[in-house]
Structure 1
């Protein structure tokens, strides 16, 4: 009976009526259009339908028309709707003559085709069976994301009475989704598809942090602790009471139910192993994730070997820095010195933030030398929120809105401050902010000529590959003149190379957590805290970490190819425009585009 109840609840549409696909009449009307018009219509319809299914995506773009809804997220209805949409859109795309399109339209055609085919492959029953029963982890868990969404410090606005009422409705749905996550976990307890114990313990810690101190201390109460100007006293009293009731009687109890379930029932049956290879359906899932994340057909073994080669190359650069600064001792001693010497420590979290802001000021003065178009949207620099800093990366980026009304945010992590090194300031800013994620994401979403899926979508290999390539632009932007900042650059590039080795080691070669941490400590000056967070991240989100180095290697190879082919005609601003101004492309599509640009003589 429990299994039947779970199936019925998860298969039911939670918040909205099922969405119909494009009517036949509309399809017939589209068929009468030119190939270019039909392609544009398909992209527009796909985007509109996707936003209906996923209202949170609209909220990220600054559209609050359906801000009272979270969407289906983890129900069977959600997955079935996405699968039907991918099938219908690929069928429509196949009916459009690609040869009749312009070169830019062909780029869009190829990108859309790759993305929807990849999406559809992911809905295969065997892959869903290995995915759906694991709805939450400590890195991308919606328990954290939705709590932050309600905090007034994320993408959801709290400026009007409607904003506050919308958030109350979202909170009600949040609580329901938490209970549905428990049902998903129970499905895995039956099938044997369960999270590693390590991941479960980290999630339990996060749930403890979210609920510590009770209702008044919840980050979801922040919007009613300071209201915008113009709210009447009566509205403030009413809303504070409503939020207190919602968080205290609905949301926090749901979070605590999840915590107690994970601790008492799920943890005893969770996996001691950390890699996907030990889980039913895990090897097949990992192969799919590797292909979708890297946008290549490379095997885990091939990527592992590329990683080993890159590690060896970067170690030579590290040895050169060691010789330049005159450090006496072996490489291990040099790493220990960089980890422990007080000269490489921040005096305070404020000093850490100030260092990133000063770096940003320096880069802003010269970045126009490499880019013809700069983002219009602003950038803020903030510390990672306390409730997730223990398990968060050293830095991260949250995009702003296309119209610039909400700036992009670069988050730096000041957790365990003595473990953080000043040597990583320049390279981390280049990656997360300018000209890394902030440039790439902002330039795409501000480009209204692009179809929405190119403006707002993308793939990890391009997005993270660009950000890692952006780190390599440091010397051209006046960075890394301090040899210790150059060491920070090597250390960060080494991190991305080690990821190729460790992620594939964990999920296809039987590596363990401690073995992976030891490997990272032996080949870099990372602190144990950072290495632990990194390894536990790869355990939680297999394959994601492979994207950085694979994307960067491709972009750098394409630049080298263009420089050699074009010689004095090579234009760095033109090359960067070719890479950035059509959004995040699959790597094969990007390479074909750059080849055409080279063949045309590399115009600006």
Structure 2
């Protein structure tokens, strides 16, 4: 999956963190500066204020000025500050005459405006009354994000004594945030806006897993289980004791408080139904989520019917593969064959790690044929940690940092894959998952934007789900150009992954707008793909937790594929995929309407060139 950084994006979506603007060097005073400088001064000042209000986002970018704080999330004061900042940003932006900006600045203007308006739409009192009172779920929220972040294996750095002490300070704010979340849940209980019982049960299980780790076995103890060079023996002893105390006296108790509240008070009043449409105000939430996440004003019915059409198309291609390999049974029987035959089963977690690295080498050999710029940020491959693997997606990407001016900040991007219930996993589809999460998928999309310091930082680090996940799925369509999926079973795996994204249109809208049950959605996915029941269950429970997010993949990909086909048709021999991909990637994540306008302008400029 992923988000911009997929883990952080999920957290931001749940906590209503707006996609604010980020850095360019300050320009001259706005009263006398040219319009370009006024615009970029706005970007810079908005960014500086945003990072101070949202320090965890700064840490992901390698900015440690506020690293002793986590953030004042979930509070009324936080939402008020975000709303006031957005209103001020929009007022300043609209005081700049867009028509007098050059083409590049017009794109920046449009993206900034879209992000700010979108953020403000989600910060109205009416929307917060429906969303803020459901502060976490089993797929997004700080209780799923923060343990990995603070584990010593995530984005939080552990290179100096100050880093270790900052983490202890963040723990205290995390405790406040979790207790504050309980308060928000109580507000929802009073207003009748509550999570589903299924979601609550999953959260209880996640919290049990964290609590049961104990102290020295805790994911939070990870940073002091191994120290970097430069931490003195005396500091190591002191920090080990401090970390153990924080886990014993602060973190285990707050997770226990949340678990007990959810189990004893909240679960009995939670919704029996899983669709957001059955919740008070749920239809408003779902329609807003569709527009926010796809960046287009689509209706649930349109999305559902588009999904049915795509499922039928992909199914016909699957039938062709079945015939090619000589399988004599039905497509449903072919799905069962791939799910169950031992030759499609991984033998170990390490086999999968090695397999993904081998796939990466094959992609690297051909990637320059399609892309003119390759990320400098390295890519690592890991499987999910035990505490989160059960409810995690099949794969995800966590962004890295590349700073040539300060290499100490650097960290690789990470492609995570899921090994929970390993016997239920299958190997067809490994190539397409790598294309999506690794290269040229999220790793390219996120890293190339972040490494392009000519962009204002809201275009380097900001984003939207339709672009990010649409690009990941579009990257899968490059299998032939990159010499992948030459084995028919791997190609079937590619179709199976595309089918997953098409089924999401049907299932997400079915659950949240048409009253589908959890079991109905799982059975639909099993009937139309070779997914195992474990994966299908995790997928459906993800859609229940995060309405609308799963729609963005196919909507974004179909938009990008349509724009590519348009460029190929209009440019003919002048079409170069490297130029097209540069147009899509090198200005960061654009809303679909802005991307389409940009590609149309590029096509016109290429046609006009001699």
In structure 1, what is the equivalent of residue 73 of structure 2?
Answer: 73
In structure 2, what is the equivalent of residue 524 of structure 1?
Answer: 529
Contact 1:496 1:545 in 2 (8 A): yes
Q: CA deviation at 1:193?
A: 0.7
Q: Deviations over 1:91-143 (max 9, x none)?
A: 11111011111111111111111111111111122211010111111111201
- 2:428 counterpart SS class: helix
What aligned pairs does 1:45-194 form with structure 2 within 5 A after superposition? Answer: 45-194=45-194
Unpaired stretches in structure 2, ≥5 consecutive residues: 1-25
Tell me, in whole angstroms, the C-alpha distance in 2 between the residues paired with 1:254 and 1:397. Answer: 29
TM-score norm. by structure 1 comes to 0.95
- 1:366 counterpart SS class: helix
In structure 2, what is the equivalent of residue 463 of structure 1?
Answer: 468
2:539 to 534, 542, 551: 534
What aligned pairs does 1:393-472 form with structure 2 within 5 A after superposition? Answer: 393-403=393-403, 405-472=410-477
Q: CA deviation at 1:229?
A: 2.1
Q: CA deviation at 1:475?
A: 0.7
Give the aligned length. Answer: 580
What aligned pairs does 1:268-307 form with structure 2 within 5 A after superposition? Answer: 268-307=268-307
Tell me, in whole angstroms, the C-alpha distance in 2 between the residues paired with 1:538 and 1:213. Answer: 28
Contact 1:61 1:402 in 2 (8 A): no
- 1:80 counterpart SS class: helix
Tell me, in whole angstroms, the C-alpha distance in 2 between the residues paired with 1:111 and 1:395. Answer: 28
In structure 1, what is the equivalent of residue 557 of structure 2?
Answer: 552
Contact 1:74 1:181 in 2 (8 A): yes
- 2:380 counterpart SS class: strand
Q: Deviations over 1:223-267 (max 9, x none)?
A: 111111232221111111111111100111000110111011110
Tell me, in whole angstroms, the C-alpha distance in 2 between the residues paired with 1:144 and 1:378. Answer: 25
Question: Which gives a bigger RCO, structure 1 or 2 (Cα 8 Å, sep 6+)?
Answer: 2
Q: Would the alpha carbon gap of residues 565 and 133 (structure 1) be closer, same or farther in structure 2, given more than 3 Å must change?
A: same
What aligned pairs does 1:359-398 form with structure 2 within 5 A after superposition? Answer: 359-398=359-398
Tell me, in whole angstroms, the C-alpha distance in 1 between the residues paired with 2:296 and 2:213. Answer: 47
In structure 2, what is the equivalent of residue 575 of structure 1?
Answer: 580
Tell me, in whole angstroms, the C-alpha distance in 1 between the residues paired with 2:30 and 2:260. Answer: 53
Q: CA deviation at 1:417?
A: 0.6
Q: CA deviation at 1:213?
A: 3.3
Tell me, in whole angstroms, the C-alpha distance in 2 between the residues paired with 1:420 and 1:28. Answer: 57
Q: Deviations over 1:190-221 (max 9, x none)?
A: 11111101101111111111111311111101
Tell me, in whole angstroms, the C-alpha distance in 2 between the residues paired with 1:473 and 1:379. Answer: 19
Tell me, in whole angstroms, the C-alpha distance in 1 between the residues paired with 2:498 and 2:31. Answer: 49
Contact 1:126 1:281 in 2 (8 A): no
Q: Would the alpha carbon gap of residues 541 and 508 (structure 1) be closer, same or farther in structure 2, given more than 3 Å must change?
A: same
Unpaired stretches in structure 1, ≥5 consecutive residues: 1-25
Q: Deviations over 1:24-83 (max 9, x none)?
A: xx9994132111111111111111111011001110011112111001111111111111
Moved more, 205-214 or 405-414: 205-214
In structure 2, what is the equivalent of residue 217 of structure 1?
Answer: 217
2:571 to 566, 570, 573: 566
In structure 1, what is the equivalent of residue 16 of structure 2?
Answer: none
Contact 2:27 2:33 in 1 (8 A): no
Tell me, in whole angstroms, the C-alpha distance in 2 between the residues paired with 1:509 and 1:562. Answer: 37
- 2:415 counterpart SS class: strand
In structure 2, what is the equivalent of residue 598 of structure 1?
Answer: 603
Q: CA deviation at 1:297?
A: 1.0
- 2:414 counterpart SS class: strand
- 1:601 counterpart SS class: helix
Q: CA deviation at 1:357?
A: 0.8
Tell me, in whole angstroms, the C-alpha distance in 1 between the residues paired with 2:163 and 2:449. Answer: 27
Contact 2:47 2:458 in 1 (8 A): yes
Contact 2:344 2:426 in 1 (8 A): yes
Moved more, 228-237 or 248-257: 228-237
Tell me, in whole angstroms, the C-alpha distance in 2 between the residues paired with 1:338 and 1:431. Answer: 21
Contact 2:275 2:511 in 1 (8 A): yes
Tell me, in whole angstroms, the C-alpha distance in 1 between the residues paired with 2:494 and 2:449. Answer: 26
Tell me, in whole angstroms, the C-alpha distance in 1 between the residues paired with 2:49 and 2:262. Answer: 35
Q: CA deviation at 1:354?
A: 1.0
Contact 2:543 2:550 in 1 (8 A): yes
- 1:480 counterpart SS class: coil
Q: CA deviation at 1:365?
A: 1.2
Tell me, in whole angstroms, the C-alpha distance in 2 between the residues paired with 1:402 and 1:61. Answer: 9
Contact 2:28 2:37 in 1 (8 A): no
In structure 2, what is the equivalent of residue 474 of structure 1?
Answer: 479
2:511 to 506, 510, 513: 506
Q: Deviations over 1:422-454 (max 9, x none)?
A: 101000000000000000000001000111110
- 2:416 counterpart SS class: strand
Tell me, in whole angstroms, the C-alpha distance in 1 between the residues paired with 2:284 and 2:86. Answer: 21
- 2:277 counterpart SS class: helix
Contact 1:224 1:236 in 2 (8 A): yes
In structure 2, what is the equivalent of residue 320 of structure 1?
Answer: 320
Contact 1:465 1:547 in 2 (8 A): yes
Tell me, in whole angstroms, the C-alpha distance in 2 between the residues paired with 1:442 and 1:233. Answer: 37
2:498 to 493, 500, 503: 493
Tell me, in whole angstroms, the C-alpha distance in 2 between the residues paired with 1:353 and 1:365. Answer: 19
Contact 1:127 1:281 in 2 (8 A): no
Q: CA deviation at 1:161?
A: 0.4
Tell me, in whole angstroms, the C-alpha distance in 2 between the residues paired with 1:149 and 1:490. Answer: 34
Tell me, in whole angstroms, the C-alpha distance in 1 between the residues paired with 2:230 and 2:581. Answer: 46
Contact 1:111 1:586 in 2 (8 A): yes
Q: Deviations over 1:452-510 (max 9, x none)?
A: 11000010000000000000001100001000000000000000000001101111111
